[in-house]
């Protein structure tokens, strides 16, 4: 589904990604772990198409298409979703409107008719209930005045409505209490399906107790230093990230 | 083609050599017939001639150069428009189903409503009639004359207006009243002097919308003046909407005096015109008076919008809030100058100024200057001004959800204006203003669905 070959990228003149190689197949959940500043978020943003992040080398294909040649909005319509680490507040643009516009953009690109207003509201209410979100969400601006936890729930809600093929969740677990973490994890798990894939970017292994990954990768200094199965995450938790960096050097 | 005028004699004032415009104003003055306001008009004319046209050296005219205008020879705009005017058709700010009353003014000349067009609770007089009935009262409403540079054109209006409207709100009126100002030129360099005076009696309330539109190919220079007095406990929601064409120049002065516990909500909406120069001066003269001012200034093409607000807290426990949102695209320029003055003794005054600008093109310009002048203790005054481009994080967030760039940008522009739009109580006027705004944004179709 996603194939990254030797990807490097630069932000504000600084090389952040230095040759990433990663393959994610349909049906898989991958976790990308690493210390702060290792390039995890940059990777997520580059994949989603952030323009001020300059790709300096390598290639990325998404379902056989050249992802890097697509604009951010095209990537989204093709089924890629980024759950933001810090979702932005957009006062004046209603949550429901944004979601409806997003869903319709995707449907339009797929040659499907626009969603019926009533049908859409029913869908939203159902997903909101699932994510245990309050009714007030419907009338508020995008993430406006939301707590950190509410913002993360909103990201997962959007994901559930848009049903992406590939979801990249950037530290969706950070800042969540244990109850919110369970809700968010249930949301992500509900999307697991043989035709979809999920990439979890996280600093802590805690999330992986709830969303069990098929593969775990350690990103450090803009490179994937080590890959393994779930036990790698547990080992990292025990031994810290330094262990991987040292092991690599040695 | 300029209309010719009769050999203008230089005035007696010791002013420097006069511009063609000043000479033509003098000619207009000489051609006016005397009325009961003549003593006041005489003073106004003399002061105007002595001071001359404002220049960019004058504090509130720094951004508006009137040189091109000063070279013109002005004549009175015709008293009637050519062709039919349909205030209820496309020009209207109100939907067909709305209960609203409307008054028509063409180049400043009022068309008095038939008896069935009257509104309970609002007495409507032409200024000519009012000048005949009670010249002293009318003169009092026009005084004091001011030499302040933002009032310069008002002096000329006082000297030269031929007729206008005097509205007296006497009760709590639920139906909005629209004053449709139609500018219709003859083809030459003509000028109109629309004049409106509104008095809200103690305890009364109303909504009044002044809607400025143009008809035909030529639009006269508009030198309009509105004065509003709110008596004790009066409430007024007032709109002035500029929707004239790209060739139109509009100098519009609004002065307001508020008495005890009165509430004034004002919307200045600049959607059209080539040069739009709205000024708002409010005096909060008695305790408890409160002002809410909203300005929505849209710069488009090579339009210049130069807005001046001056709010004076003249009594204790008065409050004012000013919210301005400016958008400039293409090569337009939007200026928002706002000044809050807290007089000695106006203790516990509260004022707040929020001005935000949004630049949509590299050749556009926005200048904002919030100023505070405080002469009293124990006051709470806050001001903030920011100008920037569309937030790239917000834009990327929307793109990452599959929304196309044009729609995302338009949505953000629309959202930027929300603080002003949501303050409007007249839903149909708000909808009409939104429609006009949206029509100027790139992805208008999607945005219509948004509402």
| B77-88 tens-digit pLDDT | 998 766 666 544
pTM, 2 dp? 0.83
Q: How many Å apart are CA A143 and CA B394, to the nearest integer?
A: 11
* pLDDT the model gives residue B423: 86
Which of B322, B371, B379 has the alpha carbon at shortest distance from B347? B379
* pLDDT the model gives residue B1: 38
Query: Are residue B276 and residue B402 in the same domain, yes or no?
Result: no
In a domain, B109, yes or no: yes
* pLDDT the model gives residue A241: 82
pLDDT in tens, chain A (250 residues): 999 999 999 999 999 999 999 999 999 999 999 888 899 999 999 999 999 899 999 999 999 999 999 999 999 999 999 999 999 999 889 899 899 999 999 999 999 999 998 999 999 999 999 999 988 888 889 999 998 989 999 999 999 999 999 999 999 988 888 988 999 999 999 999 999 999 999 988 889 999 999 999 999 999 999 999 998 988 888 888 888 776 554 4
Contacts of A139 in chain B (CB under 8 A): none
Give the confidence band of B5 by pLDDT, cuts at 50, 70, 90. very low
Q: What angle do CA B33, B39, B41 make, to 5 degrees?
A: 65
Q: What percent of chain B has pLDDT over 90?
A: 67
Q: How many Å apart are CA A32 and CA A194, to the nearest integer?
A: 20
Place of tokens 């909500």: B265
Contacts of B412 in chain A (CB under 8 A): 90, 93
Q: How many Å apart are CA B86 and CA B383, to the nearest integer?
A: 42
Domain that holds residue A80: 2-249
In a domain, B203, yes or no: yes
Which of B188, B187, B253, B248 has the alpha carbon at shortest distance from B213? B248
Which of B257, B260, B235, B238 has the alpha carbon at shortest distance from B312? B257
Query: DSSP per residue over B85-101, as a string?
Result: --TTTTT-SS-TTS--E
Give the least confident one: B134-143, B234-243, B422-431.
B422-431
Give the confidence band of B99 by pLDDT, cuts at 50, 70, 90. low
CB contact under 8 Å between B399 and A88, yes or no, is no
Chain B residue with Cα closest to A49 = B400
Question: Which residue, B286, B311, B329, sits at the end of a domain?
Answer: B286
Q: Is B69 in contact with B19 (CB distance < 8 Å)?
A: no
User: Which tens digit of pLDDT belongs to each residue from B206-229?
Assistant: 999 999 998 888 899 999 999 999
More confident residue, B418 or A132: A132
* pLDDT the model gives residue B101: 80
Q: Is B282 in contact with B291 (CB distance < 8 Å)?
A: yes
Domain that holds residue B424: 391-451
Place of tokens 């004046």: A92
Which residues of A touch chain B, with CB atoms under 8 Å apart? 48-52, 71-73, 75-77, 81-82, 84, 87-88, 90-93, 97-99, 101-102, 105-106, 109, 141-142, 158, 162
CB contact under 8 Å between B400 and A109, yes or no, is no
Place of tokens 């292994």: A205
Choose the closest CB to A98 out of B393, B398, B414: B398
Which CATH number fits the domain that encloses residue A6?
3.40.50.300
Q: Per the structure, how many domains does chain B have? A: 2
* pLDDT the model gives residue B44: 97
User: In terms of DSSP bridges, do strands A215-220 and A223-228 run parallel, antiparallel, or are they unpaired?
Assistant: antiparallel
* pLDDT the model gives residue B4: 42
Which of B303, B351, B300, B284 has the alpha carbon at shortest distance from B323? B351
User: In terms of DSSP bridges, do strands A14-24 and A2-11 run parallel, antiparallel, or are they unpaired?
Assistant: antiparallel
A133, A149, B34, B51, B255 from B156: Cα distances, Å: 61, 61, 16, 11, 15
Query: Are residue B96 and residue B214 in the same domain, yes or no?
Result: yes
Which of A80, A52, A87, A102 has the alpha carbon at shortest distance from B411? A102
* pLDDT the model gives residue B97: 55
Which of A121, A135, A132 has the alpha carbon at shortest distance from A156? A132
Contacts of A92 in chain B (CB under 8 A): 414-419
B64, B213, B286, B296 from B267: Cα distances, Å: 22, 16, 22, 8
Q: Is A10 in contact with A16 (CB distance < 8 Å)?
A: yes
Q: Give the closest-approach CA distance of A219 to chain B in angstroms.
A: 24
Question: Which residue, B219, B252, B286, sits at the end of a domain?
Answer: B286
Give the confidence band of B3 by pLDDT, cuts at 50, 70, 90. very low
Question: Which residue, B271, B286, B301, sits at the end of a domain?
Answer: B286
Q: What angle do CA A49, A11, A250 make, to 5 degrees?
A: 105
Q: How many Å apart are CA B108 and CA A99, to the nearest integer?
A: 49
Q: What angle do CA B102, B108, B109 make, to 5 degrees?
A: 75
For residue B116, pLDDT over 80 is answered with: no
Q: Is B364 in contact with B333 (CB distance < 8 Å)?
A: yes
User: In this structure, what is the dihedral angle of CA atoms B10, B14, B15, B21, given to the nearest 10 degrees?
Assistant: -20
Give the confidence band of B7 by pLDDT, cuts at 50, 70, 90. very low
Mutate to test the interface with B, among A85, A86, A88, A117 (most CBs of B within 10 A): A88
Which tokens sit at B47?
């002061």
Counted across chains A and B, CB pairs separated by less than 8 A come out at 75
Tally the C-alpha atoms within 13 A of residue A9's C-alpha that lie toward its C-beta. 27
CB contact under 8 Å between A90 and B416, yes or no, is no
Q: How many Å apart are CA B318 and CA B92, to the nearest integer?
A: 35
Q: Is B187 in contact with B82 (CB distance < 8 Å)?
A: no
- CB within 8 A of B36, min separation 6: which ones? B131, B132, B135, B138
Choose the closest CB to B401 out of A50, A98, A141: A98
* pLDDT the model gives residue B16: 56
Mean pLDDT, rounded, of chain B: 89
Q: How many Å apart are CA B188 and CA B190, to the nearest integer?
A: 6
Which of B220, B216, B293 has the alpha carbon at shortest distance from B250? B220
More confident residue, B411 or A165: A165
Query: Are residue B272 and residue B137 in the same domain, yes or no?
Result: yes
Q: Give the closest-approach CA distance of A103 to chain B in angstroms.
A: 8
CB contact under 8 Å between B397 and A106, yes or no, is no
CB contact under 8 Å between A162 and B418, yes or no, is no
Contacts of B415 in chain A (CB under 8 A): 90-93, 141
- CB within 8 A of B180, min separation 6: which ones? B85, B87, B91, B92, B102, B103, B104, B105, B211, B213
Q: Give the closest-approach CA distance of A247 to chain B in angstroms.
A: 37
Q: Give the closest-approach CA distance of A43 to chain B in angstroms.
A: 15
In a domain, B247, yes or no: yes
Contacts of A75 in chain B (CB under 8 A): 400
Contacts of A105 in chain B (CB under 8 A): 401-404
Q: Is B51 in contact with B19 (CB distance < 8 Å)?
A: no
CB contact under 8 Å between B394 and A88, yes or no, is yes
Q: Per the structure, how many domains does chain A have? A: 1
């Amino acid at each position: 589904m996603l194939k990254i070959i030797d990807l490097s990228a630069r932000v504000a003149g600084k090389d952040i990604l230095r040759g990433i190689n990663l393959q994610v197949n349909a049906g898989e959940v991958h976790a990308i772990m690493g210390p702060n500043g290792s390039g995890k978020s940059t990777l997520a943003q580059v994949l989603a198409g952030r323009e001020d992040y300059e790709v300096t080398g390598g290639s990325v294909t998404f379902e056989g298409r050249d992802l890097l040649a697509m604009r951010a909005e095209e990537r989204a319509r093709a089924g890629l979703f980024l759950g933001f680490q810090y979702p932005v507040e957009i006062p004046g643009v209603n949550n429901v409107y944004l979601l409806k516009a997003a869903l319709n953009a995707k449907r339009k690109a797929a040659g499907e008719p626009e969603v019926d207003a009533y049908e859409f509201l029913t869908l939203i209410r159902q997903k909101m209930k699932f994510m245990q979100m309050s009714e007030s969400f419907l009338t508020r601006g995008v993430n406006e005045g939301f707590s950190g936890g509410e913002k993360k729930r909103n990201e997962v809600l959007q994901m559930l409505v848009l049903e992406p093929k590939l979801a990249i969740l950037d530290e969706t677990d950070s800042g969540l209490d244990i109850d919110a973490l369970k809700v968010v994890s249930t949301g992500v798990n509900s999307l697991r399906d043989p035709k979809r894939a999920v990439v979890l970017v996280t600093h802590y292994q805690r999330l992986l107790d709830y969303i069990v990954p098929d593969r775990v990768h350690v990103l450090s200094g803009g490179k994937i230093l080590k890959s393994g199965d779930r036990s790698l995450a547990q080992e990292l938790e025990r031994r810290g990230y330094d262990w991987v960096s040292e092991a690599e050097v040695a | 083609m300029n209309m010719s005028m009769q050999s203008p004699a230089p005035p007696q004032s010791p002013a420097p050599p006069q511009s063609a415009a000043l000479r033509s104003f003098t000619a207009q003055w000489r051609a006016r017939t005397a009325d009961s306001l003549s003593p006041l008009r005489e003073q106004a004319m003399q002061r105007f001639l002595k001071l001359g046209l404002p220049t960019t050296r004058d504090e509130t005219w720094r951004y508006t150069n009137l040189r091109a205008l000063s070279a013109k020879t002005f004549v009175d705009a015709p008293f009637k428009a050519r062709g039919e005017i349909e205030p209820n058709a496309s020009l209207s700010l109100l939907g067909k189903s709305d209960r609203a009353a409307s008054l028509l003014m063409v180049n400043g000349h009022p068309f008095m409503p038939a008896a069935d067009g009257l509104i309970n609770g609002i007495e409507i007089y032409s200024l000519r009639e009012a000048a005949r009935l009670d010249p002293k009262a009318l003169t009092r409403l026009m005084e004091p004359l001011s030499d302040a540079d933002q009032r310069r054109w008002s002096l000329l209006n006082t000297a030269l207006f031929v007729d206008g409207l005097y509205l007296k709100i006497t009760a709590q009126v639920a139906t909005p009243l629209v004053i449709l100002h139609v500018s219709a030129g003859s083809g030459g360099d003509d000028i109109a002097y629309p004049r409106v005076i509104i008095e809200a009696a103690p305890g009364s309330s109303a909504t009044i919308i002044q809607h400025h539109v143009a008809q035909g190919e030529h639009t006269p220079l508009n030198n309009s003046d509105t004065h509003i007095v709110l008596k004790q406990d009066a409430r007024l929601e007032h709109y002035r909407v500029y929707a004239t064409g790209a060739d139109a120049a509009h100098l519009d002065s609004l002065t307001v005096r508020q008495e005890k516990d009165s509430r004034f909500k004002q919307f200045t909406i600049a959607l059209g015109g080539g040069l739009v120069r709205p000024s708002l001066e409010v005096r909060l003269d008695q305790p408890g008076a409160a002002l809410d001012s909203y300005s929505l200034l849209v710069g488009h093409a090579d339009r210049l919008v130069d807005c001046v607000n001056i709010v004076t807290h003249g009594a204790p426990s008065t409050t004012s809030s000013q919210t301005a949102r400016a958008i400039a695209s293409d090569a337009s320029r939007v200026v928002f100058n706002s000044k809050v003055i807290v007089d000695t003794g106006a203790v516990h005054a509260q004022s707040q100024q929020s001005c935000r600008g949004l630049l949509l093109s590299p050749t556009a310009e926005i200048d904002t200057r919030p100023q505070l002048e405080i002469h009293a203790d124990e006051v709470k005054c806050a001001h903030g001004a920011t100008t920037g481009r569309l937030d790239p994080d917000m834009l990327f967030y929307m793109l990452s959800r599959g929304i196309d760039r044009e729609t995302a940008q338009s949505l953000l522009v629309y959202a930027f204006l929300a603080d002003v739009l949501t303050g409007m109580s007249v839903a149909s006027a708000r909808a009409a203003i939104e429609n006009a705004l949206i029509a100027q944004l790139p992805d208008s179709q999607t945005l219509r669905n948004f509402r």
